[in-house]
Amino acid sequence: MSPDALAHLLGEDDARERRHSSRELLGRLAPYYREVRGKLLLAGALLLTVIGLGLAGPFLLGQVIDVATAARPPSLPVPAGRPGVIVLALCFVGAVGLSFLLEASLGFLMSRVGVSMVIRLKQDLFRKVLSLDPDFFRDYPPGKLIARVESDTESLKNLFSSTALQLLRASLTFGAIFVCMLLLDARTTLILLPVLCLIGVSTAFFVRYVRSFFVLARRYYAAITGLITEYLQGIEVVRHHDYAAQAEAQLEHVQRARAAVLIKADFFNYSFWGFFGFCEVATAAIVIGVGAEQVRQGTLSVGTLVVFLEYLRQVFMPIQLLSEFVSQVQRGFVAAGRIFGILSLETKVPDAPDAEPAPPLEQAVCFEDVRFSYDGQTEALRGVSFEIPCGKSIALVGPSGGGKSTLVQLLLRYQDPSAGRITVDGRDLRQLQRRSWRAQLGYVPQEVYLFPGTLGENVSVFDARASEAQLMAACRAVEAEDLVRSRAAGLDTPLVERGANLSLGERQLVSLARAFVTEPRLLVLDEATSSVDPETEGRIQRSLDRLLAGRTALIVAHRLETIRACDEILFVDQGQIVERGGHDELWARGGRYRKLAERQFAPVGGGDA
Amino acid sequence: MSAPAAAKPVEGSWSYLRGKLAWMARCWRPHLHLVWVLVLMTAISAGVTLAYPLVFGYVLEELRSLSAGDATPGRVGELVWILIAVGVARAVAALYPAFRAWVNVRIDVFTRRDYFHVVLGKGPAFFTRFRSGDLVTRLTDDITGYPKIGWFCCSGVFRALESGSRVACCLGVMLYLSPGLSAYALIPVPLMLACYLLLKKHLVRAVEEQREASSTTSDHLEAAFTGVTVVQAGCAEERLCEKLAEQLAEREGAEVRLAQLWVLFSIFFQGLNVVGQLLVVLVGGLWVMDGLLSLGDFFSFYLYLGLLLGPMMDLPNLFVTGRQAFVCMDRLEELERYDLRGAKGAFEGERPLERLEQLSVRGLRYAYGEQPVLAETTLELRRGEKLAVIGPIGAGKTTLVRLLAGQLLAEEGELAINGEPFAALDGVSVRERIGFVPQDPVLFATTVRENVTMGREEDPERVARALDLAGLTEEVARFPGGLDHRLGLRGRGVSGGQRQRLTIARALYGEPELLLLDDVTAALDAENEDHFWERVLSTWPEVTVLVVTHRAATATRMDRQLRLQPVGRGRA
């Protein structure tokens, strides 16, 4: 596989998302931290105490050595000899015991903080995703979105809780020990200062450098998942063309590319760790080299030197911890980048600041010279004007790609016209709040989708406020009452994934019934293209006939019977209305409509058209 | 097809463990030469870790002599250099985990490659049993990450080995330095064991609870995202958010419980270790005072004790992570065992097909589980005949096409080409004579050209003709790169209609004798479809066609129609 091909597999991912710098990400995370600031303050206080108690350990140890070796009097007022050692040991026990108690409380507190922040994030992400436009979902299949809401937020959990704690602890400990060392032996500490600075600078450089590898490795992994999914979903084609070897070769290439990146990332990561191991020993050697002379001269006790060495070990521990957590932090930041990438997305059609709730539709919806382009170049709609008067039903017919679906998208306000306008009782649709407008619509999408849940939940779309009577009325309206009654559990009948325990016709009826739970002011129906058996088709048609009578509706129609029942037919092609009128009128005219109708709706084996 | 279930050993039993070890041994086979390196590096790493406190102890002892005026500064200088040498060794030994990580990745890559091969080699029954999403998870997340197969097989095992050897060496040196003090240091060990056993049960339960809660969330997310059109159209966003909030509130409890158990677990372990350290400091300090122990030995002992904690926490971790990794191995093994018949599918014989004269189906039955789709279906198709299969959804039209393409195995009935049963025929020779276009367009993330030729020998003229017949010539010419235009994953880069027409071109490229089209001409508008049939039939008048269609015009264009009813009874 060429480098181009590899890059192509990676390049397309998430192009619409804005990239965030680490600083921006921290800024975006801040409000989540702010929400739990009480708990965080408490955690901070606990942390400071734990660090303080941690520093007491080496100090007490030094005292024990000084008392035990009787090298010089201890700085604490303890008796000399054996009793002094016992008193110091008891102090040490007390400090350690308290430190563990506090540490446990801190762990408990932070695990709660991490979990609750992640849960908030999951909720925000879910809400955001549901508010995005249809074209977003074309680029983000459900699997990918679930990964964002589940795995990515989980990677952040550690960053919120244990990792954050460790990082904070590491930095505070670092500072505190440094101060202690200065107090203990300023000269040696200052000699060590350049080494510590070098370590600081290299950490910053390293963190930035390695991050890019982890990001790339993750993208390769996504490509691997994508390839496997694609080949397994297309297994019949793979089998039919004996294409397995090629599929395996392609996967192998991406796997190798990922492995190469990961090896680099790990190598750098652990070299860094090794470098620190060396620095720790090297600085200890410097301290011993410098301290030995002072010990010989009697200006420094062995106990103090040991304490100094122990503090030195502790100074490195936080930095080692940092490098240990670096991959976790990297992963956390990568995940945060992806999460806030989505959270920063905005719908293309936000409500205007002065938008008002849509009043109930009373007169008509008008398309006035509406133009629209998806890419800013080719126009999908080129000046379309028509009216949907209240009580009338309008059918849209025409070849695929002609602009029918775009018209529906504009009416639902998933998009706004590039020029011209859509009015509702004379008011520009853009001045109305989007959700309040949609709430008046009964939209039946072309694709029938049923949720795992009960029949009732599927009709109401999880609206617990909808009463059983309301739901049954909606079912009755679409002649789906017997569908409910024929099942022992009625509306509580559980539906398996994608409604596989209903026939296609029944699924279509459920989908249709949804639109009637709320008595919509305007029915927008994108008729399913896949036909069903004549009996079900007849049933659906009867329901539609009844439903359309006197109702305001815009229908993308695929059945001749549906079209006949409509008050006006608009033949849409190449973004324009090329013919309009009633069925008989257009049939008689013998134009594009008639040609289409003859082809598409010709009888099959004595059918009913 | 599936292996007898009785053979599966009980989880946790010896035979189960043996099975897993055998699996891991198999996994290790291509990397055996690395085992010795890993063992050697484990020893070096443990040795370096051990050397540090020992050297440090000597240094301290020298310092004490120095303060007492017993030693020369030159001796200290030598020790400093030794210390630096140990530091260098430590830095080198730190690369050991990087090496382990490299082997993890190798195992990861090899395992995925092998099992992807296994899965692609499976037959139709396999894909009826396993859904692609499930398979993808088994081939990706079950292998990669912590503590999954790739990590466990190398890092899991060798970390434990390293920890084990560190513990053993530390204990050995400690015993050498002071057997009496070692006894004090080991007092908390039985307590640690008891604490591990006590908490383990709770941990396992908490992990299960948390998993259940998270799979409930995933189900909810999948439903919401898949049905997002319905959700948005029904203004149900808020309601679904509320439902998620309810689920997450329950999950929060489980998650917090789990996290807190982990905190408890690690604090207990550390705590008990510190108890040991305290005993050592107290008793050892007194012994130093009494002259029973040298200061250097005491300090080394203290450092060794500190080195024990990490490895001792690693050891029980081997069991916890092993359990998780074993589950992933089970899931891969299941794929291996299921459907041993393989990818040959229906055509598993050796007799090559020279020319397709006649296709016959008698008394065909097929059911998806308990749900019968086809029963007693019979049809006959002679060379050059054109048949439309019509009927409502659920009547078994797609199933029939897939059976004829050899992509499903008939349960009962006869399927034959030229009177030869499918099972006697050689798959390659049959499939190259069939142009099969499934209902859902399947494209791969490669070039347009490769998507059409699919690894078959490339003939530019045939490619051009196939694209022309599918009405794609102009559109392909407009792609950046034309035939070399690369499609992204999930066929990104071409429109919905183009996708289906590309799959039609793919079928036509092989100049098939039998064309099996499953409701695919819907991607062509009426005018294009006319054009398509006219060109195909004039180019290959002899081609035999079986087309599933909902379009009346398409059906009437064929010689005959076969109407299937949901009961599956139909006769051409």
In this structure, what are the phi and psi dihedrals at residue B349, rounded to the nearest 5 degrees?
Answer: -90, -165
Query: The tokens of B218 are what?
Result: 């995933």
CA-CA-CA-CA dihedral for B396, B454, B524, A609, to nearest 10: -10
pLDDT(B569) > 50: no
Name the pLDDT band for B6 (thresholds 50, 70, 90): very low
Give A251's contacts in chain B (Cβ within 8 Å): 112-113, 116
Rounded Cα distance, B443 and B452, in Å: 9
> Rounded mean pLDDT of B269-297?
80
Residue B5 has pLDDT above 70, yes or no: no
CB contact under 8 A, B278 and A281: no
Confidence (pLDDT) at A147:
81
* DSSP letter string, A373-401: -SSSSS-SEEEEEEEEETT-EEEEE-STT
Would you give the DSSP letter of residue A152?
I
Residue A299 has a pLDDT of 82
Answer with the residue of higher pLDDT: A202 or A129: A129
Q: Are residues B323 and B472 in the same domain?
A: no
pLDDT at residue A89 is higher than 80: no
CATH for B376: 3.40.50.300
What burial letters (b/e) apply to A416-453, b meaning 16+ CB within 10 Å? Answer: bbeebbbbbeeeebbebebbebbebbbbbbbebbbbbb
User: Is the domain of B51 the same as that of B175?
Assistant: yes
In degrees to the nearest 10, what's the CA dihedral of B378, B382, B385, B390?
10
CA distance A440 to chain B (A): 10
pLDDT computed for residue B502 by the predictor: 92
User: What pLDDT, on the 0 to 100 scale, is given for residue A15?
Assistant: 58
Which chain A residue lies closest to B285 (C-alpha atoms)? A68
Tell if the CB–CB gap between A282 and B87 is shorter than 8 Å.
yes
Q: Do B87 and A401 touch (CB under 8 A)?
A: no
For residues B298 and B409, membership in a common domain is answered with no
- Do B521 and B391 lie in one domain? The reply is yes
Contacts of B561 in chain A (CB under 8 A): 604-605
Are residues B493 and B552 located together in one domain of the fold? yes
Residue B256 near residue A115 (C-beta atoms within 8 A): yes
Residue of B nearest to A235 (CA): B120
Please tell me the CATH code under which domain A364-440+558-603 is placed.
3.40.50.300
CA–CA separation, B565 and B546 (whole Å): 17
- The one-letter amino acid at A73: P
Categorize the per-residue pLDDT at B84 as very low, low, confident or very high, splitting at 50, 70 and 90. Answer: confident
Q: So what's the pLDDT on residue A95? A: 85
Q: Could you list the residue range(s) of the whole structural domain that residue B396 is in?
A: 358-563
For residue B15, give how far its alpha carbon lies from the nearest alpha carbon of chain A (Å): 33
Nearest C-alpha of chain A: how many angstroms from B14? 34
Residue B136 has its nearest CB partner, among A228, A302, A443, at A228
Answer yes or no: do A150 and B87 touch at CB < 8 A. no
B376 lies in the same domain as B522: yes
Nearest residue of A to residue B213 by CA position? A150
Residue among A142, A241, A532 minimizing CB distance to B225 = A142
Say which of A81, A237, A270 has its CB closest to residue B438. Answer: A237
Average pLDDT over residues A383-392: 93
Residue from A240, A236, A242 nearest B512 by CA: A240
**A530 pLDDT more than 60:** no
> Is B361 a residue whose pLDDT tops 90?
yes
For every residue of B485-500, DSSP letters joined together read PBP-GGGTTS-HHHHH
DSSP state of B155: I
Cα A233 to Cα B120: distance, rounded to the nearest angstrom:
11
A278 vs A329, which has greater pLDDT? A278
Q: What angle do CA A463, A467, A471 make, to 5 degrees?
A: 80
User: Which of A96, A445, A607 is facing B229, going by the closest CB pair?
Assistant: A445
Residue A606: band (very low, low, confident or very high) from pLDDT cuts 50, 70, 90:
very low
Torsion angles phi and psi, residue A387, rounded to 5 = -130, 140
Helix (H, G, I), strand (E, B) or coil at B304: helix
User: B256, A111 in Cβ contact below 8 A?
Assistant: yes
Looking at the complex, report in whole angstroms how far the Cα of residue B12 sits from the nearest Cα belonging to chain A. Answer: 29
Nearest CA in chain B to A291: B63
Going by pLDDT thresholds of 50, 70 and 90, the confidence category of residue A422 is very high
Q: How many CB atoms lie within 10 A of CB A575?
A: 21
User: In 3-state terms, what secondary structure has residue A449?
Assistant: coil
Nearest beta carbon to residue A270 from set B97, B260, B455: B97
User: For the segment A193-218, what is each residue's pLDDT rounded down to a tens digit?
Assistant: 887 788 777 777 777 788 788 888 98
- Does the structure show a pLDDT above 90 at B305? no
Which residues make up the CATH 3.40.50.300 domain(s) of chain A?
364-440+558-603
> Which of B529 and A394 is assigned the larger pLDDT?
A394
Across residues B361-390, what is the average pLDDT? 87
Cα of A527 to nearest chain B Cα, Å? 14
- Find the residue in A nearest to B519 (Cα): A530
Do the domain assignments include residue B346?
Answer: no
Long-range contacts of A591-594 (CB under 8 A, 24+ apart): A592/A398, A593/A397, A593/A569
Looking at the fold, whether B274 and B379 belong to one and the same domain comes out as: no
Q: Which of B97, B263, B343 sits opposite A239 (nearest CB)?
A: B343
Cα separation, A460 vs A514, in Å, equals: 6
User: CA nearest A98 in B: which residue?
Assistant: B271
Q: Cα distance from B13 to chain A (closest Cα, Å)? A: 33
B519-527: average pLDDT: 70
Structure token digits, residue B466 = 């196939």
Nearest chain B residue to A237, by CA:
B442
Cα nearest neighbour of B560 on chain A = A605
The residue to which tokens 């400091």 are assigned: B281
**Is residue B572 domain-resident?**
no
Q: Are residues B422 and B537 in the same domain?
A: yes
Alpha helix segments (H runs only) across A234-345: 235-240, 244-297, 302-343
B241 contacts in A (CB within 8 Å)? Answer: 123, 126-127, 130
Q: Where in chain A is the domain with CATH 1.20.1560.10?
A: 3-343
pLDDT exceeds cutoff 90 at A272: no
**Can you give the pLDDT at residue A303?**
79
Give the closest-approach CA distance of B103 to chain A in angstroms: 9
* Beta-bridge mates of residue A428: A423
CATH number for the domain harbouring residue B314: 1.20.1560.10
> How many domains does one find in chain B?
2
A-chain CB neighbours of B481 within 8 Å are none
- Answer yes or no: are the C-beta atoms of A302 and B63 closer than 8 Å: yes
Comparing C-alpha atoms, which of B509, B145, B6 is closest to residue A237? Answer: B509
Find chain A residues with C-beta within 8 A of B86's C-beta. 281
- Options 3.30.70.3270, 2.40.40.20, 1.20.1560.10, 3.40.50.300; which CATH number does A3-343 get? 1.20.1560.10
Residue B114 and residue B108: Cα distance in Å, rounded? 10
Is there a contact between B487 and B448 (Cβ–Cβ < 8 Å)? yes
| pLDDT above 90 (res A569) | yes
| Mean pLDDT to the nearest integer, B245-268 | 88
Mean pLDDT of B551-561: 85
Closest CA to B338 of B18, B137, B115: B115
Give me the pLDDT at residue A605, please: 38
Candidates A118, A158, A239, partner chain B, best to mutate (most B CBs within 10 A): A239
Contact residues on chain B for A278, CB-CB shorter than 8 A: 87-88, 90-91
Are the beta carbons of A551 and A376 closer than 8 angstroms? no
Question: For residue B492, which residues of chain A lie inside 8 Å, CB to CB?
Answer: 12, 139
Tokens of B492: 């990104």
CB contact under 8 A, B63 and A292: yes
pLDDT, tens digit (0-9, with 9 covering 90-100), for B432-467: 999 999 887 889 988 999 999 998 999 999 999 999
Q: How far apart are CA A599 and CA A591, in angstroms?
A: 13
pLDDT in tens, B126-175: 887 887 778 888 999 889 988 889 999 999 999 999 888 888 888 888 89
A-B contacts (CB, under 8 Å) = 413
- CB spacing of B248 vs A122 below 8 angstroms: yes
Nearest to B384 by CA among B549, B572, B534, B558: B558
Interchain pair B90, A274: CB under 8 A: yes
CA dist A200 and A178 (Å) reads 14
| Chain A residues within 8 A of B495 when measuring between CB atoms | 401
Flag whether B350 is in a domain: no
Confidence class for position B570, pLDDT limits 50, 70, 90: very low
At B476, which amino acid appears? Answer: V
Q: Which residues have a Cβ under 8 Å from the Cβ of B450 and sit 6 or more positions away?
A: B444
Domain boundary, last residue among B337, B370, B400: B337
Q: How far apart are CA A75 and CA B135, in angstroms?
A: 68
| B364 in the same domain as B325 | no
**A237 pLDDT more than 50:** yes
Give yes or no for a contact between A526 and A414, defined as CB atoms under 8 angstroms apart.
no
Q: Look at A274 and B92 and tell me if their CB atoms are within 8 Å.
A: yes
Grade residue A528 by pLDDT with cuts at 50, 70 and 90.
Answer: low
Check pLDDT > 50 for residue A604.
no
More confident residue, B550 or B319: B319
Residue B238 lies in a domain: no
Q: Which two tokens stand for residue B343?
A: 């990818």
Q: Are residues B307 and B371 in the same domain?
A: no
CA dihedral over A322, A326, A328, A331, signed as positive or negative? positive
User: What does the pLDDT read at residue A252?
Assistant: 95
